[in-house]
Amino acid sequence: MTTLHIKNGHLIDPANGIDGLQDLFIADGKVLAVGSAPAGFKADTTFDAAGLVVSPGLVDLSARLREPGYEYKATLESELQAALQGGVTSLVCPPDTDPVLDEPGLVEMLKYRAKTQNKAHVHPLGALTMGLKGKSLTEMAELTEAGCIGFAQAEEPIEDTTVLLRAMQYANTFGYTVWLRPQDPHIGRGGIAHSGPLASRLGLSGVPVMSETIALHTIFELMRASRARVHLCRISSAAGLELIRAAKAEGLPVTCDVGVHHVHLTDADIGFFDPNARVTPPFRSQRDRDAIRAGLLDGTVDAMCSDHTPVDDDEKLLPFGEASPGATGLELLLSLALKWADDYALAQPQAGARPLARAVAKVTSDAARVAGIPAGSLAVGEEADICVFDPHARWTVSSASLASQGKHTPFLGYELSGIVKATIVAGQVAFQR
């Protein structure tokens, strides 16, 4: 039994209301004690975290690992290493692999491949419909047994509303969560930028905000009929957040997340057709971006995710309209969450705000609660998945600094705060800088 003592660190554990200097004692892969050592405790390894923050390992609600099927873009090995470098110990992967995750055997194979890597915990989402084609439902019960934590359509909206209603009724019967990215199947289809003055000036086809809001109206009506629990992925607009706020007030069992890039960037960041700023959903107006930041603060937005989508040079270094959408994010999630906290602290310097703890919650305990997975907490007896980071150390985002095979991000060249010093998975130091 290996024992570990993390001492002198600033422990931030939002799930248990801890935010202060506390030691952490780990034995047998689990948290043994917080604060003072249990009687007779002897540490095999002592980690001095003076000046560092010790938090639960990050929980990422959307990371495409590109396996199976897209190994030329990234491999399980490269992306799970990127996760560790980013302090991410649990990640949810969407079902849009090739083949699609619609068969229990494929899910079991992915889980097995991920387990043999001895890196972050991988939690797959199963396909809601066979082949993500939106026609016939998958065997959700079998997929859940194989290890799926919910069901999604990734970027493929279901055209037939009856199919979506049946899927939600089925999911509700068994208590499964349906993960949907709200987008109308027709409005804005083929669009590549936010519909607005900027897209018009640049001559880019637009994706209007109503593509998101029409889909949300439909989803909420179906929720009222089915009572299914729905998690809304990558909300991008102020109008969408207003609808979600109202649905939560009404008592619908709904949660939502935002991609961490959307917390900071707007359609103006496309600049001179920068393909690195081509993402799905597109970056929207400054008003939308400000609404996302406010929604994180007031709890309308439950979590931030990296929306990690590695794209290779052949598909990214193209004219804006032809470039594949997507950006690497696993290694940026922590820094961009901290940037939100810093911006918020500057804007609202009132006492009692604890912006750092708020940011940590959005990428640990809140995200784990949404996904329904046992993570994001350092309570005694919980699995010791831990991220130790220096919130003030600065680094420059460059291809060389990223372990992910996906080197494309709109933040290339930016200087960000927050460097992961160690990532601990199940009590073992899996990464140390």
What is the β-pairing status of strands 151-152 and 177-180? Answer: parallel
C-beta separation of 272 from 224 below 8 A: no
C-beta separation of 423 from 111 below 8 A: no
Query: Which residue do the tokens 């491999």 mark?
Result: 75
307 catalytic per annotation: yes
Residue 242, judged by CB atoms within 10 A of its CB (0-12, 13-18, 19+), counts as middle
What is the rounded distance in angstroms from the CA atom of residue 126 to the CA atom of residue 346? 41
Instruction: Single out the catalytic residue among 23, 257, 267, 307.
Output: 307
Q: Which residues contact 345 (CB under 8 A, 6 or more apart)?
A: 353, 355
Amino acid identity for residue 181 in this structure = R
What is the rounded distance in angstroms from the CA atom of residue 252 to the CA atom of residue 361? 23
C-beta separation of 123 from 371 below 8 A: yes
DSSP category for residue 135: S
Q: Which residues contact 102 (CB under 8 A, 6 or more apart)?
A: 95, 126, 127, 129, 130, 131, 132, 138, 143
Question: How far does CA 188 lie from the centroid of its chain?
Answer: 24
78: helix, coil or strand?
helix
What is the rounded distance in angstroms from the CA atom of residue 267 to the CA atom of residue 342? 22
Question: In degrees rounded to 5, what are phi and psi of residue 165?
Answer: -60, -45
- Active-site positions read 307
